């Protein structure tokens, strides 16, 4: 199954990044790069039409534990900062992958239409 992971930045996360030293910021980028390396077998880079927002699953990573909800969760102070397409067996595998994301605190998972 193909999904698009949309990485969502919040104002709080943007402020955190701005407060980091160049060395600390480089460490953040290294963790993100390592995540992409670790999941390279599942990552696809082709353009595809997304299914509607009602089909989304969102994982919030900015609390003590990851929180998964059905549907998109977008506040005016959040912005999609990037995306990647993955191919995995099912939503459970996508969730396991996303729960290890090391950067912005929200990731929306949306199935790709065939």
Residue 55 pLDDT grade (very low, low, confident, very high; cuts 50, 70, 90): confident
What pLDDT does 82 receive?
84
Tell me the whole-structure pTM to 2 decimals: 0.79
Structure tokens belonging to residue 74: 């977008």
Residue 5 has pLDDT above 80, yes or no: yes
> CA angle, corner 85, sides to 60 and 33, nearest 5?
75
What pLDDT does 37 receive?
93
Secondary structure class of 78 (helix, strand, coil): strand
Reference 7, options 89, 88, 92, 85; nearest CA is: 85
Alpha helices (H) in 1-114, listed in sequence order: 11-19, 22-38, 91-98
Residue 76 pLDDT grade (very low, low, confident, very high; cuts 50, 70, 90): low
- Tell me: the pLDDT tens digits for 90-108? 999 999 999 999 999 999 9
Q: b/e map of 8-20 (b: 16 or more CB within 10 Å)?
A: bbbeebeeeeeee
Section 79-92 average pLDDT: 91
Section 63-77 average pLDDT: 77
Residue 48 has pLDDT above 80, yes or no: no
């Amino acid at each position: 199954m193909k999904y698009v992971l949309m990485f969502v930045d919040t104002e709080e996360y943007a402020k955190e990044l701005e407060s980091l030293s160049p060395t600390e910021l480089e460490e953040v980028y290294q963790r993100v790069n390592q995540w992409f390396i670790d999941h390279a077998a599942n990552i696809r880079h082709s353009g595809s039409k997304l299914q509607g927002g009602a089909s989304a699953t969102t994982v919030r990573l900015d609390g003590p534990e990851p929180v998964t909800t059905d549907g998109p969760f977008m506040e005016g102070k959040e912005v999609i900062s990037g995306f990647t397409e993955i191919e995995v067996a099912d939503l459970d595998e996508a969730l396991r992958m996303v729960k290890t994301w090391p950067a912005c605190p929200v990731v929306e998972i949306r199935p790709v239409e065939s």
